[in-house]
Amino acid sequence: MTSTNTKSAAQIIKIDENYANQRIDNFLIKILKGVPKTHIYRILRKGEVRINKKRIKPDYRLQLDDQIRIPPMRLAQKIDHKPSASTINLLEHRIIYEDDDLLIINKPSGVASHGGSGINFGVIETVRNMRPKAKFLELVHRLDRDTSGCIIIAKKRRALIELHELLRNNQLIKTYLVLVRGQWQGNTRIVDAPLLKNQLQSGERMVHISDAGKTAKTEFKLCQQFTNAALLEATTHTGRTHQIRVHAAHIGHPIAGDEKYGDKEFNKAMRAIGLNRLFLHAHTLKFKFPSKEKIINLKVELDPDLLKVLEKLAR
């Protein structure tokens, strides 16, 4: 990736429904890639950004059909690597639902939800390449890079706001299939343990149980018991980073293939029967889309490589 500095011409932007009611400062931060936030707030304070030919404050909320004038400024243009044709083709064939508001993909393991931290592109950047004419495409939620299964992309800002509200109110129900170490006792178990997120100097994120952390609740239910492992269904009642992985390890049942929070010997045994990834799959998705009075209810079966692991464990 390389970057060069170029001076842009003044821009005139007309606000459509995707950006109506958004704060002007957040809007500018989003569209002016490579411009420091300090500079954005400076041009707002000086009145260099005009809406309908008038000065505005940074907390002004955009209205439908507002005309924004952005002054000429130096932009750091980033030249990014494009996702390969094979990656684009892979995601195209893993679209499981699409309408005017949403696009839902069965994300493959090994593909990040978004670029960053040395990753040039993820699901969202690839989808934007797949749909170059789309004005608005944003992730509704994220999945860890090694987790497969349902991931939602909003095609309109209104849809994004509605789904974030469902997530906050625990009305967007997501279940996962997960293979863990050991003999599972009983049927259902609820883990209610707060999680604290730390970022190491390397940029790696680590999460641990701590009273200083945020509330986190996961419900585990037994699906199938094997000799030294159990297939569980996990339902998240909160959406914390690495929640299922940390909660599973916390109760003595680390997830197969988890190199960060898992058990080395168990992972080694699972590799011997062909597991070369994290056994965590976003299996089902259910919610009622408020503005459309429509119920979305999807189920994505395990990938073939995970099914083969279960077959070997059963034998």
Last residue of a domain, one of 51, 77, 103: 77
Sign of CA dihedral 28, 32, 37, 43: negative
Residues 292 and 33: their CA atoms lie apart, in Å, by 33
SS3 299: strand
- Report how far Cα 245 is from the mean position of its chain's Cα atoms: 16
Last residue of a domain, one of 77, 109, 126: 77
**Bridge partner list, 213:** none
Question: What CATH number has the domain bearing residue 258?
Answer: 3.30.2350.10
Which residues are within 8 A (CB) of 246 and not within 5 positions of it... i.e. 6 or more apart?
195, 207, 208, 209, 261
* Judgement on whether residues 295 and 247 belong to the same structural domain of the protein: yes
* Judgement on whether residues 264 and 295 belong to the same structural domain of the protein: yes
* Judgement on whether residues 221 and 251 belong to the same structural domain of the protein: yes
Which candidate, 72, 244, 245, places its Cα nearest to that of 175?
Answer: 244
The size of the chain, in residues, is: 315
Q: For position 202, what pLDDT does the model report?
A: 57
Write down the pTM of the prediction. 0.77
Residues 2 and 210: their CA atoms lie apart, in Å, by 41
In which domain, by residue range, is 275 found?
170-314
Q: For position 203, what pLDDT does the model report?
A: 61
Active site residues: 144
Dig out the tokens for 265 from the structure. 């010997």
Dig out the tokens for 36 from the structure. 């420091």
Q: For position 2, what pLDDT does the model report?
A: 39
* Judgement on whether residues 229 and 310 belong to the same structural domain of the protein: yes
Q: For position 77, what pLDDT does the model report?
A: 54
* Judgement on whether residues 143 and 181 belong to the same structural domain of the protein: no
Q: For position 199, what pLDDT does the model report?
A: 67
Residues 152 and 221: their CA atoms lie apart, in Å, by 24
Per-residue pLDDT of the chain (315 residues; tens, 9 = 90+): 334 455 567 888 888 877 888 899 888 888 787 788 888 898 898 888 999 988 988 889 988 888 898 888 766 555 456 788 888 899 999 999 999 999 999 999 999 888 765 666 789 999 999 998 888 999 999 999 999 999 999 999 889 999 999 999 989 999 999 999 999 999 999 999 999 988 665 567 789 999 999 999 999 999 999 999 999 999 999 989 999 999 999 999 999 999 999 999 999 999 999 999 999 999 999 999 877 788 999 999 999 999 999 999 998
* Judgement on whether residues 213 and 95 belong to the same structural domain of the protein: no
The domain tally of the chain equals 3
Which residues are within 8 A (CB) of 83 and not within 5 positions of it... i.e. 6 or more apart?
121, 125, 126, 129
* Judgement on whether residues 45 and 124 belong to the same structural domain of the protein: no
* Judgement on whether residues 174 and 294 belong to the same structural domain of the protein: yes
Question: What CATH number has the domain bearing residue 52?
Answer: 3.10.290.10
Residues 203 and 107: their CA atoms lie apart, in Å, by 24
* Judgement on whether residues 200 and 260 belong to the same structural domain of the protein: yes
* Judgement on whether residues 116 and 57 belong to the same structural domain of the protein: no
> In whole angstroms, how large is the CA radius of gyration of the chain?
22
Last residue of a domain, one of 126, 161, 196: 161
Report the run of H or E that residue 236 belongs to, with start and end: strand 229-236
* Judgement on whether residues 191 and 308 belong to the same structural domain of the protein: yes
* Judgement on whether residues 149 and 28 belong to the same structural domain of the protein: no
